[in-house]
A and B are shown apart, each in its own frame.
Chain A
Amino acid sequence: MFVINCPYCGERDQSEFSCGGEAHIVRPKQPTELSDDEWAEYLFMRKNIKGVQFERWNHAHGCRKWFNMVRDTSNDKIHAVYKMGEKPPVI
């Protein structure tokens, strides 16, 4: 149970948040132009890193804002949180 520093609300208990999986996967602008394989790559393929991972999180039971978070999945250390649209930090 970690403590997450919501970029809008500040530090809150993990139970207020939900994880939305890997971050920085952009929805293709022209899906119809893509082959089945390319579309499947966007739709299904996710990394599951042991180590530093960029993730989407939602302050579901708080401000309901989505934001990004850099977390080490091997020890749950949170390296950074940043708003949607902001440039990912270099870790």
Chain B
Amino acid sequence: MTKYRINKTRFVDQTKTVSFTFDGKKYHGFEGDTLASALLSNGIHLIGRSFKYHRPRGIMSCGSEEPNAICQINDNTDLTEPNVRATEIELYEGLKASSQNCWPSLNFDIGGINNLISPFIPAGFYYKTFMWPKSFWKKIYEPLIRLSAGLGKSPTQPDPDIYDHKHEHCDVLVIGGGISGIISAKIAAKNNLKTILIEDKNILGGSTIYQNNKNFIIDNQKSNEWLMNEISELEKLDNLIIKTRTSLAAFHSYNYLLAKENISDHLPIDKKNGSIRQRLWKIRADKVIVAAGAIERPLIFNNNDRPGIILANSVKKYLDFYGVSTGLNNIIFTNNDSAYETAVSLFEKGISVKIVDIRKKSSSNIVKNAEDQGIKIYWNSTVVNTFGYKKIKSIEIMNLSEDGSNVTGNKHKIQCDCLSISGGWTPMVHMHTQSGGKLDFREIDQVFVPTEKSENHINVGSCNGDFELEEIVKNTNNKVKKFLNINEGGFDKISVLCSKESEKKNIWLLPNTISESKTKSFIDFQNDSTAKDIKLALREGFKSIEHVKRYTTTGMATDQGKLSNMHALGIIADTAGVKMGTLGTTTFRPPFTPLTFGAIVGRSVGKFFDIVRKTSIHEWHVQNNAKFENVGQWKRPWYYPINNENLHEAVQRESKAARDSAGILDASTLGKIDIQGSDASEFLNRVYTNAWSKLGIGKCRYGLMLNEDGMVYDDGVTTRLGENHYLMTTTTGGAANVLSKLEDYLQTEWPELDVYLTSVTDHYSTASICGPNSKKILKKLFPNKDFSDEAFPHMSYQDAMIDKIECRIMRISFTGELSYEINVESKYGKSLWENCIVAGEEYKITPYGTETMHLLRAEKGFIIVGQDTDGTMTPIDLQMDWIVSKKKYDFIGKRSLYRSDTMREDRKQLVGLLTDDPNEILEEGAQIVSELDKKPVEMIGHVTSSYFSPNLNKSIALAVVKGGKKMNGQKLIVPMENKNINVTVSDFIFLDKENKRINA
């Protein structure tokens, strides 16, 4: 056993040695230790350097509130994890930990120079200093600040661990497995309520489980023994789920809570393999009982941050739970009775201890107990300074003046190797406020306590402001019974004896002989903000607590101010002369403790990140070397390279083939909506800009759909299949939105219409064959069909069969070529496609992808909604006046086309652009200007689509330009990084304006 492992406890198995490394050096601890307790048992206090001043810092607490002892865990590039609190990580064989924020080493840190120049880097230093000269920001200041910013190192490889999500419902969720949580869970579960109890530590019992003191008696047993029995009874209840190593992350409205369970973090490395690392529980609870406990406050005095200065109750936990003494020559500095429990515990184990108390006296049992044992107590005194660079060596104390605002008398120096501090307790009201609860300020002991109003959750125990054992047990029993509407709690006749505190005193910032500007009284240890910084912020005019917080960064570190917020508030209140209750608190936001990204995303990584939709022909595309692009969730063939073709080469070949002979496109992803009902025609009249009543059965029509604001929303061809039956197609990406928009109008604005909408996108597969030889290929596929222009004209549809497979053939064209789209039930998609390929072989039918499709339609001047439009384009802007019915009384968006703004003539309008150098291809998104000399240069538009057309043998582009309609023939400039490209505005239909090809 090491020098500091002075006690055997039931919580640490001293027969099982665990080895680990810290900063490369090997140490030993035992099973049951945390990294912090194991380091302390080896006499190591110095864990890291502080963020701003690089001051040596040590372990200060034993839980999630720890501001100093944060480490980097693991050293491999994928599993390494920064900012892990040593107080929370359970020791396992092979654990590698290292200190953060120091260079070249923890013991000799160059950054320590910041401590010496600290008078020159007060709060707001960055804001004040790096303002000028302006040109320095990008090249000098920002890179420098980035170098020194951040704690720890992020992994550089993907996280190999598995994370999981689980949904759970219960009648009662109890948060916290301390004494009040255990009582609550037992009452709930014994009354047949499905109960979940979560506890962030590895065992239940909170601080009572190691409260081995004769001043705290329940039913004639020491409180720890009584609780031990309760826990073993609790574990027998079968409608209770106990989840240890599970911490609450968020408490949302309607009792929806997130909790993170650590499943394998504590396991030795060789046993972790393959196991889920963490699980995020998504719990919907009928009732929630918060028993989150309280966190001990530090005291704020000069140099209160040295390694070896530890919260008093944590010293007790290290001693009584882990069997580790944090020092052999202890001083306890307190303003309340609870620290005396630590003193008595140290004394009983034969460890030297003295007490400095800011109060004048205390008459409680536990204090009397300490005095009887002969522990030296310095009443009415305060620590004014501490000494020892890497570990505390001594302190100086002075007497307090009558009102506590000053110090009097002589300085008295006392040697020590550990200073335990206690400034009272802060209830953990985070959960309560996250759920929307409000707080009241309780003057007597200066705490914010929950205002109980919710019908669906209560707070019990010390998070509710009950600090004494008797009130904890009795109030919890009574509150839970009332909350759950239960008559018999099982704890009604319980007897509790405990020490009761009568004298209370609190000084947020302890007085000193030297002026404040020369002291370092740390409030936020992790972000290095001091009382001086808070006062400076107030002097500079910051009044709101939220502003002071951001200016000084108090409470903004990874511990989220668990130790610092109350003192910051207290000092602001004292300095500004206002009451703390009126000052309010900063907002408590989830998560309570940091969550890993892994736990948040769970299984939604890699191929599970999003749904992937594939057409029934997908396999053929893969076999034929297609490169894919994502269109919404769909995988669409982008191009089909042959040999070593690049995108450009493949697209040039595919486009040429489609115009010269035949091309085939998988058009299955287009959105398809089946529309039926006696008012289907009227419905289409209302949702499209053009007229639909006169469309004959078996005919197709292109339609443009607007939003109510007059902007183009979607487009597509709709076919009339029967008297009351239409098939609408939408853009691939817009399908779901179009359906939901149409449903919205049907259900809410026009419920009188007899119309039924069904999404059939997935039901049909579509092969689109285009090119001068397409008709010949169709004839081969359907030998009995008459494909003459008279029998089967452009924009019409017919049914046909291949063997016994029913096909719908639409003669419609998005490429400007003679073109047919063959639709079959999805399951026959691949077979149809293969038939088409075989039939087209003699015409060298060429499969083409979306890139070629885009090029072909651009040649013809057809828009793509979402590429050439962006939600600010009306049909008039697109020069598509022809599709807007003048006769129809109303359609969605019609009125907006006559608003003064949509009628402006200088709106951006669709035009064609031709580069003066026909080989120059414009970049899509490039800006367009008319003159370069007049500064600032005005951007009058941008390029929306741009390609090199192999059929026209020149570069073509579509663009939107202010007032473009009237600019045909005008010269414009597209300025690029290295050159200016001269362009000429042209008609946006580049090929076959006469529609000879479509009607061929």
Binding site for B on A (CB under 8 A): 1-3, 13-14, 20, 26-28, 30-32, 34, 36, 39-40, 43, 56, 58, 60, 64-66, 75-76, 84-85
Contacts and interface: CB of A to CB of B under 8 A. Distances in A.
B895 interface: yes
A39 B254 contact: no
Contacts of A32: 889-890, 894-895, 898
B740 A58 contact: yes
B748 A56 contact: yes
Nearest to A31: B895
A2 B435 CA distance: 12
Nearest to B256: A1
A43 B890 contact: no
B895 A64 contact: no
14 contacts: A2-B254, A3-B254, A3-B284, A27-B708, A27-B749, A34-B895, A39-B896, A43-B708, A43-B896, A58-B740, A75-B436, A76-B253, A76-B436, A84-B748
Contacts, number: 55
A66 B890 contact: no
B894 A31 contact: yes
Interface string B895-936: 110111000000000000000000000000000000000000
A66 B254 contact: no
Contacts of A20: 744
Which of B256, B749, B895 has the most C-beta atoms of chain A within 10 angstroms of its own C-beta? B895
Nearest to A56: B748
Contacts of B898: 32
A36 B899 contact: yes
Contact of A36 (B284, B743, B900): B900
Contacts of A2: 253-254, 256
A76 B723 CA distance: 48
Contact of A65 (B256, B747, B896): B747
A11 to B, nearest CB: 10
B747 A84 contact: yes
A66 B743 contact: yes
A28 B898 CA distance: 15
Contacts of A31: 890, 894-895
A39 B709 CA distance: 10
Given A27-B708, A39-B895, A76-B436, 11 more contacts: A1-B254, A2-B254, A2-B256, A20-B744, A26-B749, A30-B890, A31-B890, A32-B890, A32-B895, A56-B748, A76-B253
Nearest to A66: B747
Contact of A66 (B744, B889, B894): B744
A25 to B, nearest CB: 10
A57 B197 CA distance: 35
B751 interface: yes
Contacts of B252: 1
A60 B740 contact: yes
Contacts of B895: 28, 31-32, 34, 39
B525 to A, nearest CB: 35
A60 B898 CA distance: 33
> Which 8 pairs across A and B sit closest by C-beta, in order of nearness?
A31-B895, A1-B256, A2-B254, A66-B747, A76-B253, A27-B749, A1-B252, A3-B254
B709 A43 contact: yes
A34 B895 CA distance: 8
Nearest to B894: A31
A60 B890 CA distance: 28
Nearest to A40: B899
Contacts of A56: 748
A13 B167 CA distance: 12
A40 B902 CA distance: 12
B744 to A, nearest CB: 6
A22 B497 CA distance: 59
Nearest to B744: A66
A52 to B, nearest CB: 16
A84 B749 CA distance: 10
Contacts of A1: 252-254, 256
Contacts of A40: 899
Interface in B799-845: none
Contacts of B751: 84-85
Interface in B749-794: 749, 751
Contacts of B743: 64, 66
A53 to B, nearest CB: 15
A58 B890 CA distance: 26
Interface in B23-78: none
Nearest to B250: A1
Nearest to A20: B744
Given A27-B749, A31-B895, A39-B895, A58 B744 contact: yes
A41 to B, nearest CB: 12
A66 B254 CA distance: 22
A30 B896 CA distance: 13
A60 B737 CA distance: 11
A86 B254 CA distance: 26
Interface in B319-359: none
A24 B308 CA distance: 66
B468 to A, nearest CB: 33
Which of A1, A32, A34 has the most C-beta atoms of chain B within 10 angstroms of its own C-beta? A1
Nearest to B900: A36
B253 A66 contact: no
Nearest to A83: B747
Nearest to A34: B895
A56 B744 CA distance: 10
Contacts of B436: 75-76
Contacts of A66: 743-744, 747-748
Contacts of B740: 58, 60, 64
A60 B740 CA distance: 8
Which of B253, B748, B894, B900 has the most C-beta atoms of chain A within 10 angstroms of its own C-beta? B748
Interface string B251-275: 0111010000000000000000000
A56 B284 CA distance: 25
Contacts of B708: 27, 43
Contacts of B256: 1-2
A18 to B, nearest CB: 8
Interface in B424-443: 436
A84 B899 CA distance: 30
Contacts of A85: 751
Nearest to A76: B253
A45 to B, nearest CB: 13
Contacts of B254: 1-3, 14, 76
Contacts of A58: 740, 744
Contacts of A43: 708-709, 896
B602 to A, nearest CB: 14
Contacts of A27: 708, 749
